[in-house]
Amino acid sequence: MMTPALNTVPFVSVEHMMRIVLAVGVERVLADLAGCIEADFRRWESFDKTPRIAAHSLDGVIELMPTSDGTAYGFKYVNGHPKNIRSGRQTVTAFGVLADVGNGYPVLLSEMTILTALRTAATSALAAKYLAPPGARTMALIGNGAQAEFQALAFKALLGVDRLRLYDIDPAATAKCLRNLAGLGFDLQPCTSIAAAVEGAEIVTTVTADKQNATILTDNLVGAGIHINGVGGDCAGKTELHPDVLRRSDIVVEYAPQTRIEGEIQQLPADHPVTELWQIVTGRVPGRREAAQVTLFDSVGFAIEDFSALRYLRATLAAYPFFTELDLLADPDEPRDLFGMLLRARDRAA
Amino acid sequence: MMTPALNTVPFVSVEHMMRIVLAVGVERVLADLAGCIEADFRRWESFDKTPRIAAHSLDGVIELMPTSDGTAYGFKYVNGHPKNIRSGRQTVTAFGVLADVGNGYPVLLSEMTILTALRTAATSALAAKYLAPPGARTMALIGNGAQAEFQALAFKALLGVDRLRLYDIDPAATAKCLRNLAGLGFDLQPCTSIAAAVEGAEIVTTVTADKQNATILTDNLVGAGIHINGVGGDCAGKTELHPDVLRRSDIVVEYAPQTRIEGEIQQLPADHPVTELWQIVTGRVPGRREAAQVTLFDSVGFAIEDFSALRYLRATLAAYPFFTELDLLADPDEPRDLFGMLLRARDRAA
């Protein structure tokens, strides 16, 4: 349980996060996260929504993603720097905070590099639950980097996908993925081209990372009836799919105002029709309607998913208390006496 | 010196911050901070500027204040909840992060409740250096809450103000202020009314806190030639000065687009002329021009001041290493192998 001290904030480090995920089980965490995200998407209208606040530079972007449901407030700090790989750093790192709207005090600070990888995969699988062909078991996984295994396990946990066809421009990435996923219940097939990978796949996940417009999927590679889970295109100037693929697909997004800037649909006119995932989750719009339909989840990651993830994490700490208390907030004996707190610290030291 | 580990971020707790401030000396910190803010205001045009991103609720507000100079990026989380006093909490608490724009990695996480109190006072004194009557030694301090002592010491450190006339609607607040400032080189005069407090004062600082429009200073109380340092009015619907006072004053603000929403000037038409402090600091606009002029610094607090404060703090840690390293960032041996890091943690635990 949390200590009720006013001046400390529970902090979940990277090490803590790994212990929590291992204690609960990765697939269980992914399924639970998808459940939390689904529950929050059902009450979509109760959230403050704003596109993320981005600070772009030549090398990358730093973003703040805040949201609130009127009771809790959450935000995530996240960067995206493709060149980081070369200096042994993560392309994307993140941390986040959950706070009490009633008094403004933070109630949780957490690493979110791992948590973002988990919630991104959980959101993809949640979308696929409504959009993929019923009974789909085979997924092409194009891009075998940091997000790949999480996607694979989320689709296994939520949809029962257990046949993976892997491709990466770098065979070492595919080899890493094969190593990591061995023994986890998949039939794993490395492929030597994108065309080979999509063959026979009912779901195609693209999760490549490069800060530029790339064409991972061209129209001729996309057969009738498949579901495309487009995860890698997630900022202005960074896309993975040929516009012809988009024009043939029924497109589902998280939050249209943000996705039109950051997603695959930045390649389309601003009025191209899209459905927001919450509309499908709440039953206002049907998911997959027919067998031949090509569906696309144009994933960019939205603040509410991080909020859901932080809320899930906070609840999980009750059973898995892997955190420390951080002395983050000044707590003078008398709230107006901030300076006096300083004087008393001096007297204690003397 | 900082540890160069890729996965950890130096963290300055409240306790650390107090140790740093006491080791350096409060007045020295205030003067150094004012110097950093002044230096950053001189290169105003090199900063990304955006009004803060606020999440308002019935009880208060939670804000994110980001900025960047293209090399470093900083943001502050800050709340404002006037009712917190009743539950023994701070009205305003804050923490902040400094990051490297080149790779997006945070390089410092710090408490900012104390640091904000310091930078707010330093900014006020910096403005007064250019705006107050030359040789001013007497200041009325109206509102004797958490910010009062910091204001007093900043004006002492930067301008030599050593005579204080204190007033608060709550005599206990004034008594607290008198206690805390005793022996610090001030001639202290408690007053029983605002009118008594402003008598003979060359500088009037208003720093009351209530989430509403109040009228602390009416026009008849404002004599010719004084400088008003208006600190308490800092969000929409929260002001301290009668509009007649504003109309008689030459008004200086931090960043006009933000101050027109949050400052005293929210009471004036949107085209009422104001000067931004950086214009005075850089010499583009003169500060005080004549003895009879009434000047007003309409302080609301701007992101660049927090950036300056975080940058000062980071530099200060080299000489005063009061911080711990926080395991905030995932650092897999191979950057693309986030999932493998999890597997290796499992193997270590087994």
Residue B249 has pLDDT above 50, yes or no: yes
The model's pLDDT over A69-122, given as tens digits with 9 standing for 90+, comes to 999 999 999 998 988 988 888 888 999 999 999 999 999 999 999 999 999 999
Smallest Cβ–Cβ distance between B330 and the set A85, A101, A113 belongs to: A113
Between A5 and B210, the higher pLDDT residue: A5
User: What integer pLDDT is reported at residue B4 of this predicted model?
Assistant: 53
Whole-number pLDDT of residue B107: 97
| Confidence category of residue B195, pLDDT binned at 50, 70, 90 | very high
d(CA A150, CA A137): 16
Average pLDDT over residues A274-289: 98
B49/A contact by beta carbon, under 8 A: no
Residue A2: predicted pLDDT: 41
Is the Cβ pair B87, A103 closer than 8 Å?
A: yes
**Is A266 a residue whose pLDDT tops 90?**
yes
In a 3-state reduction of DSSP, which class is residue A201?
Answer: coil
Across the range A200-226, mean pLDDT stands at 87
- Residue A1 confidence (pLDDT): 38
Arithmetic mean of pLDDT, B24-39: 98
State which residue of chain A sits closest to B144, comparing Cα positions: A336
d(CA B142, CA B151): 11
pLDDT value, residue B1: 38
pLDDT for res B92: 86
- What is the average pLDDT value for chain A, to the nearest integer? 93
CB contact under 8 A, B93 and A60: no
Share of chain A above pLDDT 70, in %: 97
Q: Residue B211 — pLDDT band, cuts 50, 70, 90?
A: low
pLDDT by residue (tens digit) across B52-84? 788 999 999 999 999 999 999 999 999 989 889
pLDDT of residue B94: 95
pLDDT of residue A211: 57
**Confidence at B2, pLDDT banded by 50, 70, 90:** very low
The whole-number pLDDT of residue A280 equals 98
**Per annotation, catalytic residue among B40, B234, B250, B306:** B234
Query: How big is chain A, counted in residues?
Result: 350
pLDDT of residue B239: 85
Is residue B236 predicted with pLDDT exceeding 90?
no
Lowest-confidence region among A55-64, A83-92, B113-122: A83-92
Q: Where are the alpha helices (DSSP H) in chain A?
A: 14-24, 26-42, 113-131, 148-159, 171-181, 194-198, 243-248, 256-262, 277-281, 303-316, 338-349
Grade residue B108 by pLDDT with cuts at 50, 70 and 90. Answer: very high
pLDDT category at B334 given cuts 50, 70, 90 is: confident
| pLDDT value, residue B49 | 86
Task: Please name which of A252, A320, A312, A232 lies closest in space to residue A36, comparing C-alpha atoms.
Answer: A312
Predicted confidence (pLDDT) per residue in A288-316, tens digit: 999 999 999 999 999 999 999 999 999 99
Residue B85 pLDDT class (50, 70, 90 cuts):
confident
Rounded to a whole number of angstroms, the distance from the CA of B95 to the nearest CA of chain A is: 7
Its ipTM equals: 0.89
Q: Is A93 in contact with B336 (Cβ distance < 8 A)? A: no
Q: Tell me the percentage of chain B whose pLDDT exceeds 90.
A: 81
Average pLDDT score, chain B: 93
What is the spatial distance between Cα A206 and Cα A199, in angstroms, rounded to a whole number? 14
**Does residue B210 carry a pLDDT above 70?**
no
* B contact residues 309-328, partner A, Cβ 8 Å cutoff: 326-328
Report the relative pairing of strands A61-68 and A53-56 from DSSP bridges: antiparallel
B328:A26 CB<8 A = no
Lowest mean pLDDT among A182-191, A213-222, B113-122: A213-222
Task: State the pLDDT confidence band at A4, using cuts at 50, 70 and 90.
Answer: low
Pick among A61, A338, A341, A343 to test the B interface (most B CBs inside 10 A): A338
